[in-house]
Amino acid sequence: MAFRIGVLALQGGVAEHAAAVRAAGAEPALVRRPEELAGVDALILPGGESTAMTKLLAISELAEPLGERLRGGMPAFGSCAGLILLAAEVDPPDARTRNYGAIDIAVRRNAFGRQVDSFEEDLDVPELGPEPAHAVFIRAPWVVRAGPGVQSLATVAAPDGSEPKIVAAKQGNILVTAFHPELTADIRWHALFLSMARA
């Protein structure tokens, strides 16, 4: 049976993630209900708005099954809001947002500012090879704390001139980006996730 990568289809760039998965060589499956989650081998959590996604997970009865699958070792890739959901905590705390603790990081929501502060930047990502990775940041978070088992994959300069902020990381079979790789033609992030998930 083909390896199936689920795309959480509640909000955000669902079609774009599915297209990137297909281009990277796997079969995407849209996940809106618990029975659909049960049928996938790994899951992508797209961007969107983390508090809204928390509500939608509850409404769709996916919140608890998703937690069970993540605790059971299901590979997952979260972009932007997906990063926030997979993180261990939000700093400062926000009770409106579910944090599954799949990766040992603390994140700051909307860290780069509001929608008008959105930007694009080329990132140096050795994990993906010598070519820079173009990144689209939209109301993006950043990582404020990374545990000892977390590998930073990319950083950007902070707007206030403080130390560079982690915007992509992995731990075990969990991959997160603060930006939206699905909004570019670069499928290397999805290919990396496929290799992590299949391993």
Residues noted as catalytic: 80, 180, 182
CB 65, CB 163: distance < 8 Å: no
Tally of helices (H runs) and strands (E runs) in the chain: 6, 12
Give the rounded distance of the alpha carbon of 177 from its chain centre.
5
Q: What sign for the dihedral angle of Cα 131, 85, 15, 117?
A: negative
The bridge status of strand 42-45 relative to strand 76-79 is: parallel
Strand intervals (E) in the chain: 4-8, 27-31, 42-45, 76-79, 87-90, 103-108, 119-123, 133-137, 142-146, 151-156, 165-171, 174-177
CB 193, CB 42: distance < 8 Å: yes
